[in-house]
């Protein structure tokens, strides 16, 4: 008898499996039995939460049974058509600063082995991107513009086949009618949005639509592609979701999902979907009750209370007073109340002080509500003019997002003081590792990765954003290292603060000696070329483990790093310039490439320097660096380095220095 039952089961199970696997609907995921991976969890009210606010992480959730994508085993001869719809929401940790996004995926592997977070969306990695043995079909809802993958913006839907470079993509929105009438949507608004994906096997056409939940399915698709999935799908495929976070984070939710092979997916009943937790908190009411109670208890008592509250509020307001002007209203989301920063740093306690650089003191803090670790930079600033322009830049910079930039989360303004809030980086700045010898010395691979990271971050500033952002102060101490020793550029654009409102006759140049391009000290104009020059100096210091200029107390000529490297090169022993702390274990070709690239970037003639895009290509080995005629070049580099740095500015400049551009006098100021 049990044997018979067993045989019956064996016989019928595949059948039940096949019909059940081709079609399903979930309103909430409490009883779903999905394969979860990474950060994914099912919340108590049934939401599928792919990622919480953990950074640089991913989450997967796949329907547990494979779907049969081979039609020939059933009737026809090709991949079947399919249709699916789901409702999702992305709730960023900070307004406009999200994770990387969410994707619907069809793949042969439930756990997507080797997949990476951040720009890879938990789907692929750098090594397998574009490989046809991925057998991956994905619809990405991407909230970060990744230049390497030709992303069009930081709010798009894309159709991906085996690669994160989309076949077709579009800014998120929907067409209300076939005639056009496009309405834009924001993926990161935290609202529930519904997606419909239809694949028509006869016409090999994949259509994607998106609309706010409770809006009917749009008439026209937002993006479509012609792709024969028979060439991509294997016989058995898993369907589900992937999401990732990067330097910024977000909660990625799926509320409900329905899928069907060969037929329209069952419509979702939106009233049965679990709800997304509300943002913010509501703590009113209790204080009202207290006051009413006290009023009943006695008018005099109330009077005393009110007076003391007024007194307390007055004191408190003075303590936490901020400067706010009408024009700042539009930057609302990026303005952080001083009181929160005060709490985060235990009142800017000395024990929270983690550094004091050229621009002011830096405190570590933990934000009271989100418990996020932040670095708070306190900058004293006296000039009234220019602050408006600067704050507008700050606000637009907090929309800059790249994994190789330290995320600016917001700002706060007080009398004579500006506070900038950044993501906190545990490992601190690169210069500590390179020059102070406190930390273990970095290996060649670590250095090369940091170099490529910084190049990617700078390329994004120069080309990836709607406007060109000049960093103005690239150097090892402005490169911070994350938990995995990945490099992130910080302080971009900060030098600008000292540009605004300064006397036009004595244009102040802000930057750091040894990194200032020769034309910059003449014209005082920062360009992408002056950034590339500083990047060249940075390359040399990372490889050589020395600062670009070692300053001595006297006025004698101390050779700069550019000169030293050029000299070794002339002798045909460029490798001798490499940091001895690596004990000779490095990749000679890579190190030589970086040194030569450092010299090319440090070329005195701005037009000879490569662009950051070219730099990234040389480093990524996708383009060959032009051969430099050393004979002509070496001399001019040396001349330039002497001309600009050694003779005029012999004094000691430990960090950010302010110098006047007319070469008559130099004012060594190390603190602002």
Ligand X SMILES: *[C@@H]1O[C@H](CO)[C@@H](O)[C@H](O)[C@H]1NC(C)=O
Residues serving a catalytic function are 473
**594's tokens:** 């970086």
Is residue 394 within the footprint of ligand X (CB under 6 A)? no
Candidates 198-206, 359-367, 530-538, 561-569; binding stretch for ligand X (CB under 6 A) = 198-206
Binding pattern to ligand X, positions 245-264, x when CB under 6 A?
-----------------x--
Listed residue (243, 633, 594, 313) closest to 452, CA to CA: 594
Which member of 41, 186, 502, 661 binds ligand X (CB under 6 A)? 41
Q: What is the Cα–Cα distance from 615 to 598, expressed in whole angstroms?
A: 10
Rounded Cα distance between 173 and 156, Å, is: 9
Stretch 354-393 residues interacting with ligand X (CB under 6 A): none
Binding site for ATP, by residue number, is 377
- Cβ–Cβ < 8 Å for 240, 254: no
- Dist CA 459 CA 476 (whole Å): 17
Q: Detail the residues annotated as belonging to a binding site.
A: 377
Q: Which of residues 76-95 bind ligand X (CB under 6 A)?
A: 76-78, 80
> How many CB atoms sit inside 10 A of residue 647's CB?
11
Question: By C-beta, is 227 or 323 nearer to ligand X?
Answer: 227
Among 70, 266, 443, 636, binds ligand X (CB under 6 A): 70
Binding residue for ligand X, selected from 21, 36, 39, 408, defined by CB under 6 A:
39
User: What are the structure tokens assigned to 164, written together?
Assistant: 């994160």
Among 18, 189, 201, 628, binds ligand X (CB under 6 A): 201
Give the one residue of 87, 206, 211, 223 binding ligand X; rule: CB under 6 A: 223
DSSP 8-state code for residue 248? S
Q: % helix / strand / coil in the chain, to the nearest 5?
A: 35, 25, 45
Query: Collapsing DSSP states into helix, strand and coil, what is residue 309?
Result: helix
Is 38 a residue that touches ligand X (CB under 6 A)?
no
- With contacts defined by CB under 6 A, name the span among 62-70, 536-544, 571-579, 632-640 that binds ligand X: 62-70
18 is an interface residue for ligand X by CB under 6 A: no
Q: How far apart are CA 345 and CA 341, in angstroms?
A: 6
Total interface residues for ligand X by CB under 6 A: 33
Q: Which position among 37, 53, 407, 614 is part of the footprint of ligand X (CB under 6 A)?
A: 53
Counting contacts by CB under 6 A, is residue 33 touching ligand X?
A: yes
Which of 521, 477, 510 lies closest to 645, judged by CA? 521
Residue number with CB closer to ligand X (194 or 530):
194
- Dig out the tokens for 41 from the structure: 């969890």
Listed residue (214, 197, 83, 151) closest to 464, CA to CA:
151
Residue 597 belongs to what H/E stretch? Answer: helix 588-601
Residues 88-147 that bind ligand X (CB under 6 A): 131, 133
Binding segment for ligand X (CB under 6 A), chosen from 66-74, 178-186, 416-424, 624-632, is 66-74
| Residue 204 within binding range of ligand X, rule CB under 6 A | yes
CA 49 to chain centre: 21
Q: Is 333 helix (H, G, I), strand (E, B) or coil?
A: helix
Quote the least distance from Cβ 158 to ligand X, whole Å.
10
Residue among 261 and 455 whose Cβ is closer to ligand X: 261
Binds ligand X (CB under 6 A): choice among 101, 221, 457, 536: 221
* CB of residue 226 to ligand X, shortest distance in Å: 6
Geometric angle at alpha carbon 629, from 639 and 444, rounded to 5°: 85
Looking at residues 160 to 179 of the shown chain, list those that interact with ligand X (rule: CB under 6 A): 168
Please spell the DSSP secondary structure of 654-669, one letter per residue: -S-EEEETTSS-----
CB neighbourhood size of 466 (10 A): 10
Contacts with ligand X, residue ranges (CB under 6 A):
33, 39, 41, 52-54, 64-65, 70-78, 80, 131, 133, 168, 201-202, 204, 221, 223-225, 228, 230-231, 235, 262
């Amino acid at each position: 008898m049990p044997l018979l039952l067993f045989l019956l089961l064996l016989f019928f199970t595949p059948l039940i499996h096949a019909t059940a696997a081709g079609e399903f609907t979930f309103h909430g995921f409490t009883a779903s039995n999905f394969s979860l991976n990474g950060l994914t969890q099912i919340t108590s009210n049934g939401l599928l939460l792919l990622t919480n606010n953990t950074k640089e992480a991913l989450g997967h959730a796949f329907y547990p049974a494979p779907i049969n994508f081979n039609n020939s085993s059933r009737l026809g001869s090709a991949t079947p058509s399919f249709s699916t719809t789901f409702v999702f929401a992305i709730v960023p940790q900070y307004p406009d600063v999200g994770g990387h996004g969410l994707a619907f995926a069809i793949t042969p592997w439930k756990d997507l082995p080797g997949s990476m977070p951040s720009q890879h969306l938990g789907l692929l990695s750098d090594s397998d991107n574009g490989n046809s043995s991925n057998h991956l079909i994905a619809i990405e809802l991407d909230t970060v513009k990744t230049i390497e993958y030709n992303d069009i913006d930081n709010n798009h839907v894309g159709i991906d086949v085996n690669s994160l470079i989309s076949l077709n993509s579009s800014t998120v929105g929907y067409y209300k009618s076939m005639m056009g009438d496009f309405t834009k949507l924001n993926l990161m608004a935290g609202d529930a949005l519904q997606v419909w994906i239809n694949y028509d096997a006869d016409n090999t056409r994949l259509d994607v639509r998106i609309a706010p939940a409770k809006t009917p399915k749009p008439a026209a698709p937002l993006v479509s592609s012609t792709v024969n999935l028979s060439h991509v799908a294997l016989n058995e495929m898993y369907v589900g979701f992937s999401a990732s976070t990067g330097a910024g984070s977000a909660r990625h939710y799926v509320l409900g999902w329905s899928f069907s092979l060969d037929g329209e997916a069952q419509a979702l009943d939106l009233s049965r979907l679990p709800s997304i937790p509300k943002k913010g908190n509501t703590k009113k009411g209790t204080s009202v009750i207290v006051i009413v109670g006290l009023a009943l208890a006695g008018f005099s008592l109330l009077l005393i209370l009110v007076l003391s509250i007024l007194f307390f509020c007055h004191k408190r307001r003075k303590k936490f007073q901020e400067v706010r002007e009408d024009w700042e209203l539009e930057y609302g989301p990026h303005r952080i109340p001083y009181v929160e920063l005060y709490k985060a740093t235990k009142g800017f306690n000395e024990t929270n002080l983690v550094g004091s650089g050229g621009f002011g003191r830096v405190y570590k803090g933990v934000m009271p509500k989100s418990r996020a670790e932040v670095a708070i930079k306190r900058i004293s600033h006296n000039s009234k003019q220019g602050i408006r322009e600067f704050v507008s830049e700050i606000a637009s910079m907090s929309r800059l997002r790249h994994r190789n930039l330290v995320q600016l989360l917001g700002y706060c303004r007080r009398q004579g003081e500006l506070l900038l809030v950044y993501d906190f980086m545990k490992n601190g700045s690169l210069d500590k590792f390179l020059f102070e010898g406190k930390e273990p010395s970095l290996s060649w691979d670590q250095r090369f990765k940091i170099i490529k990271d910084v190049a990617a971050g700078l390329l994004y500033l120069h080309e990836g954003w709607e406007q060109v952002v000049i960093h103005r102060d690239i150097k090892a101490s402005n490169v911070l290292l994350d938990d995995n020793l990945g490099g992130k550029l910080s302080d971009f654009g900060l030098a600008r603060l000292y540009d605004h409102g300064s006397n036009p006759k004595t244009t102040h140049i802000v930057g750091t000696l040894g990194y200032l391009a020769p034309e910059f000290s003449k014209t005082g104009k920062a360009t992408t070329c002056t950034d590339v020059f500083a990047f060249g100096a940075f390359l040399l210091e990372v490889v050589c483990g020395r600062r670009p200029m070692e300053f001595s107390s006297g006025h004698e000529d101390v050779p700069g790093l550019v000169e030293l490297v050029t000299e070794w090169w002339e002798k045909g022993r460029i490798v001798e310039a490499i940091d001895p702390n690596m004990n000779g274990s490095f990749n000679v070709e890579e190190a030589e490439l970086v040194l030569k690239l450092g010299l090319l970037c440090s070329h005195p003639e701005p037009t000879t320097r490569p662009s950051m895009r070219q730099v990234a290509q040389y480093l990524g080995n996708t383009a060959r660096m032009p051969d430099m005629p050393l004979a002509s070049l070496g001399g001019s580099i040396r001349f330039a380095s002497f001309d600009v740095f050694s003779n005029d500015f012999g004094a000691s400049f430990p960090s950010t220095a302010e110098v006047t551009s007319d070469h008559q006098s130099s004012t060594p100021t190390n603190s602002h």
